[in-house]
Amino acid sequence: MRYRAIIYVAAAAIGFAIGCNNASVGGDNPDGVPPEVTPMGVFDVQPGQLQTITVPVGQMTPTVVYAATVDGQPVSANWSLDRGEIGVIPPGPTATATFVPRGTTGGLATVRATYNGQTLRRQVQILLNAPSQNGANPSIPSEAAQIPTSPGQLTSGGGVGGVGGEGLGPAVTNAQVLAALQSPGQSAAAANLTLLYPYDATVFPRGMLAPLLMWRWPTNDADGVKIDLTTGSGSFSWSGTFGRPAILATTGGPFIRHPIPQDVWDMATRSAGGLTPDGKPDKLTVKVTIAKGAVGYGPLSATWTIAPARLPGIIYYQSYGTLLAQNYGGAVGGNKMFGGAVLSIHVGDTGPKLTAGANGNDAQCRTCHSVAANGAQLVVQQGNNYAASSAYTLTPTGATEKTMANGTTFPAVYPDGSLALTETGQLLPLPNGGPTMPVSGLSGVTTNLGTPSFAPSGSLVTFNPMAGPGVTNPQQKLMVMSFSAKTGTFSNPVTVADYTGKPAETRPGWPAVFPDGQSVVFHQQSVAGYDGNGMGALATRKGAKAQIAWASVAGGNVVTPLNQLNGKDAAGNVYLPKLTAAYPLTCTADGISVGGMDADHGDDLNLNYEPTVNPVASGGYAWVVFTSRRMYGNLAVIPPYCSDPRGVDLVQNITTKKLWVAAIDVSGKPGSDASHPGFYMPAQELLAGNSRGFWVLDPCKSNGSTCESGDQCCGGFCQPSGTGGALVCSSGSSNQCSAVQERCATPADCCDAGNLCVNNFCTQPTVG
């Protein structure tokens, strides 16, 4: 089909107007036509049909040459490309322009040609062909980092590759094993072979560390594994075979898991996530085949959605068992010391860093934290005096501590880090914590706010009304109020969840507002732990059970469990694996026996707690970070409540109390489940119980700094530096519009008319 567009000039220039039907040119001119125009010629760009090219990894060929004409005569057009990571095209103005692939990313790219205000779009599909691989390639730095050389590396920091396991295996040299991997003789079902992690239908963002593939079968050992990664459109394909990781010769452990090579994962996730030529999401499928001797089993298969955006930023979380700040004695394992501290993970790192806390005694403990959405301020309790708090000013070079004039526990920190809202309704300027700021409109609603939290915009605050005039059933309600930081005024109280009439231990808590300001996600407790029915630090311990749910800020008490996040598939079946028998471990928590509670992980569906939300919606999704005690494949499997270092040896046993992340459709609404299965947060400390993760923005970068997306930049834009140059921060766009994850005021600012403007950044709607 040959596409056509018509060039127009203002009719006023010749004294009359000729009416035109915009719909007749809408396919070629989706940006619309001025109301008073006169046709002057036919604008065309060839080739007009979709171009499909197969590009070997690392190559910048073949290319596609586009030519612009009016009535068949060459004209100089301006050229642009919607996905600079796929390829480059010179901006012009020129009559011809050559699309050159980068050789690192596959997928569908749109070339735009603009002449005299009219724009035509042409598509090119890049099929990135990665060579087959037999064994790890240590000459590739990212793969070398996935090959441990000593047993201590298996549990140090975030574990191998930030996800644990024994790392990449060598080449398969046994011809029979290699043949078995290529042509398996038994199906996965016949062999009772199960993929434990990652879950089918998980949504991953780009830019994350490669996941650890984990499986279970009666043989419980393997000689080789074959991994295939393909996208639905063919935009990426790769196959790799790997033998037993070398470290197993030292540890004597079984071969029951293997990571995806990091460089392969990067290419696969950059290529997946866009749209196919027919407008559907280009999903990524993994197939895993196992061989023992001369027999192959499988393949196992899972299909994942890759969100077409990366998630930059830093995750701050607390640990009551960290080895990075040892300030308590009495641990069962190791040197008998453990610590309470706040740790941080910068996206892309393979292990956490210490942010708040130090070695010593309980005076150096720093937990019970809250963080500003822009990553500027952190507030924590001091371990030797729960009435005292510290504020940490966070910068790219480190954190500076200041003791606050007024103490507070789990405050709401305003998105820009300028103030904190305490549980008693005080507004404290940060970092000093005093003097308190004037407040109005709150005391008539509540005098005690349980686990308050500001919306990313700062215009809303959500909390439990724990006490106050007229407050009934205080522990069973969740509220939202409007807030003005300029005047300190609270207004428009709305009850969004009310569990009045249900058992007392059925209650909401730990709320967080989504980036669009329309929904609240929270911890929905069903069973209180043996510590009591408190919703503070006790809410995840000693038998406490909860799911993650959400509700509308408009009220109406429409509470919907996020079932796919919690552990059910779209059909309502529990997809979380459990052990075939109770794990044989006796452990206690502060002297109470907890080793037998759900020791087979049969109730992991109800072990999800403390959600927070990334302040920027990315790739069509909001991203929820939550604490869970579920099994992490076959790596963390001990009984779920065994997480206190004083009751179990957490040097020899990996606790399941960890951080997880799940995607929520940005266009979803409470009343339906808009969640997806979650993934393990890479780089968190493997030998520790981790909780209460805040995923916040990096400190913004100045103009001229390298970037990957506009939300990293103080100016809000990430643009190429010259033709084909690296992406750098700027204060505006050469396209006169905002790309995905660049700054916007309304959806009209976004280059793609179908994009949304959420919390002042353009984002795609959820597709598929």
Instruction: Give phi and psi for 28, each to the nearest 5.
Output: -100, -15
pLDDT for residue 109:
94
pLDDT confidence band for 685 (50 / 70 / 90): very high
Per-residue model confidence (pLDDT) at position 103:
95
Looking at the predicted structure, is the pLDDT value of residue 15 above 70?
Answer: no
Q: Which two tokens stand for residue 311?
A: 């998630």
On the question of pLDDT at 125 being above 50, the answer is yes
Residue type, position 381, single letter: Q
Q: Is the pLDDT of residue 261 over 80?
A: yes
Burial of 65 (0-12, 13-18, 19+ CB in 10 A): exposed
The average pLDDT across 705-712 equals: 83
Q: What pLDDT band is residue 711 in, cutting at 50, 70 and 90?
A: confident
For the chain, what is the mean pLDDT? 91
pLDDT digits (tens, 9 = 90+) for 458-477: 999 999 999 988 788 888 99
Q: Determine how β-strand 592-593 pairs with β-strand 588-589.
A: antiparallel
CB under 8 A, 24+ apart: contacts of 71-75: 71/41, 71/42, 72/44, 75/43, 75/115
Q: What is the DSSP secondary-structure string of 69-100?
A: EETTEE--BEEEES-TTTEE----SBSEEEEE
pLDDT at 471: 83
Name the pTM for this structure. 0.92
CATH 2.60.40.10 domain residues, the chain: 5-126, 133-309
Question: For residue 198, is it left (φ>0), alpha (ψ between -120 and 50) or beta?
Answer: beta
Q: Give 14's pLDDT tier (boundaries 50, 70, 90).
A: very low
* Interior angle at CA 122, CA 121 and CA 128, nearest 5: 135
Let me know the angle formed at the C-alpha of 353 by 347 and 357, rounded to the nearest 5 degrees. Answer: 140
Can you tell me the mean pLDDT for 444-463?
95
Closest CA to 653 of 676, 635, 665, 632: 635
Contact predicate 514/611, CB 8 Å: no
CATH superfamily for 133-309 is Immunoglobulins (2.60.40.10)
Please compute the mean of the pLDDT values over residues 254-265 and round it to a whole number: 98
User: H helices within 499-624, ranges in order?
Assistant: 563-566
Quick one: pLDDT band at residue 309, thresholds 50, 70, 90?
confident
Kindly give the pairing relationship between strand 118-129 and strand 236-243. Answer: parallel
Per-residue pLDDT of 365-408, as tens digits, reads 999 999 999 999 999 999 999 889 999 999 888 899 999 999 99
**Which residue, chain included where needed, has tokens 């997806």?**
676
**pLDDT of 18 above 70:** no
Largest Cα–Cα distance of the chain, in whole Å?
92
Are the C-beta atoms of residues 226 and 289 closer than 8 Å to each other? Answer: yes
Say whether pLDDT at 276 is over 80.
yes
For the beta sheet containing 679-680, the strands, ordered from the edge strand earlier in sequence to the opposite edge, are 608-613, 621-628, 658-665, 679-680
Cα–Cα distance between 377 and 400 in angstroms, integer?
10
Which are the contacts of 24, defined by CB distance < 8 A and separation ≥ 6? none
Name the DSSP class of 737. Answer: S
Which range, 254-268, 272-286, 382-396, 748-762, is most confident?
Answer: 254-268
**Mean pLDDT score, 672-689:** 97
Percent of the chain with pLDDT over 70: 94
DSSP string over 111-124:
EEEEETTEEEEEEE
Map residue 263 onto helix, strand or coil: helix
Rounded CA separation 68/159 (Å): 54
**Hey, what amino acid is at 116?**
N
Q: Distance (Å, rounded) from C-alpha 548 to C-alpha 609?
A: 7
Is 2.60.40.10 the CATH number for 5-126?
A: yes
Confidence of residue 6 (pLDDT cuts 50, 70, 90): very low
Lowest mean pLDDT segment, chosen from 135-139, 252-256, 752-756: 752-756
pLDDT of residue 163: 98
**Tens digits of per-residue pLDDT, 557-591?**
999 999 999 999 999 999 999 999 999 999 998 88
Q: Give the per-residue pLDDT at 472.
A: 85
Model confidence at 615: pLDDT above 90: yes
User: Residue 349 has what pLDDT?
Assistant: 95
pLDDT in tens, 66-86: 999 999 999 999 998 888 889
Q: What is the pLDDT of residue 724?
A: 59
Q: Is the pLDDT of residue 596 over 50?
A: yes
- Average pLDDT, integer, range 503-511: 94
Of residues 763 and 575, more confidence is placed in: 575
Alpha-carbon distance of 441 to 491, in angstroms, equals 6
